[in-house]
Amino acid sequence: MSRKRVILSATQKRELCETKEKNPNLSNISLAQQYRVGKSTITDILKEKERWLSITESQGSIKKFRGPKWPQLENALSLWVDNALNTKQDIDEDFHQSDGWLTGFKKRYGLCQYKKQGEAASAPSAESIEHDRLALQQILVPYKLEDIWNGDETGLFWKMKPSRVLARGPLSGYKKEKSRVTIFCATNATGTEKMALSFIHKYKAPRVIKNINYKNLPVYYF
């Protein structure tokens, strides 16, 4: 009489791998008897233990997973991810590959996007913005659009690491790198005229551009 085929769920495979990790001397034959599957099935599951140990609760009831198209590539990438996380490096998603593959890779290896804990953002109220907008409209009535200019400055924190990164759990924040330069931009309302960017730094004559004629730069340097 043939034995009824047993298909283990993802949760069972994860539990199996956890049991083997806790009891490394436990034989594959014993595990096969416990889960009522063949020894070769146990061997195959343990070969992919990193995959099954990363399964989340929401995935636990799934019995069949579509395997990765490039398993060796994903195993190598998973090792790189582990090393980056262990050394507290940030991993963002600026990666030009198909969204479907990236989504699948994150699910297979338990990666999610988390916002790092940091400083809270502040902004004016909606009422204040609307009041200022109406007042500005009245001031600009007598002027032509091409003569109306808007300028603003923005900080470029060129050493700051990304605040949204990939990880296997929430991350604690750390002191942010505050090195910055200030960029000033200005253009008219029709977009027909734009002022060259103003680049504002804390050094009057940085060493890296000490032999350069500032008039030849594509920006105004201050």
- Per-residue pLDDT, averaged over 181-200, amounts to 93
Residue 44 pLDDT level (bands cut at 50, 70, 90): confident
Quote the mean pLDDT of the chain: 79
Residue 179 pLDDT level (bands cut at 50, 70, 90): confident
Domains of the chain (ranges plus CATH)?
Answer: 7-63 (1.10.10), 66-118+145-222 (no CATH)
Q: What are phi and psi of 194, to 5 degrees?
A: -135, 130
pLDDT digits (tens, 9 = 90+) for 196-218: 999 998 888 888 888 888 888 89
pLDDT of residue 187: 95
Of 54-58, 145-149, 168-172, where does mean pLDDT reach its minimum?
54-58
- Per-residue pLDDT, averaged over 146-159, amounts to 90
Q: Is the dihedral of CA 12, 14, 18, 24 positive or negative?
A: positive
Residue 150 has pLDDT above 80, yes or no: yes
Tell me which DSSP letter residue 194 carries. Answer: B
- Per-residue pLDDT, averaged over 12-30, amounts to 89
Percent of the chain with pLDDT over 70: 77
Q: Which of these, 154, 155, 160, 182, lies nearest to 173 by C-alpha position?
A: 160
Residue 184 pLDDT level (bands cut at 50, 70, 90): very high
**What pTM was estimated for this model as a whole?**
0.37
d(CA 92, CA 167): 9
SS3 of 193-222: CECCCEEECCCCCCHHHCCCCHHHCCCEEC
Tell me which DSSP letter residue 65 carries. Answer: -
